[in-house]
Amino acid sequence: MEIKIGVKQSPREIVMESDETPKDLAARIEESVKADSLLSFTDLKGRQVYVPAAALAYVEIGTEAARRVGFGA
């Protein structure tokens, strides 16, 4: 699934792909924001992104869309 992370005071967003379930990810984000701690994300290639919870502007969690193939797509 695709994750978009907006960071305060930054015009760009962080976009990454993850295999974590949306429910688990939302619970981790909520817990981190409540505790005002460092939030870590790992993408499909194993890269890690760390964002302080206080710097989060938004987190958009997308759904996994099946790729369409062919002329009718």
Query: With contact defined as beta carbons under 8 Å apart, do 4 and 63 qualify?
Result: no
Q: What are the two backbone dihedrals, phi and then psi, of residue 32, each rounded to the nearest 5 degrees?
A: -65, -40
pLDDT for the residue numbered 64: 63
Q: What is the pLDDT of residues 25-59, one digit of tens each?
A: 999 999 999 999 999 999 989 999 999 999 999 99
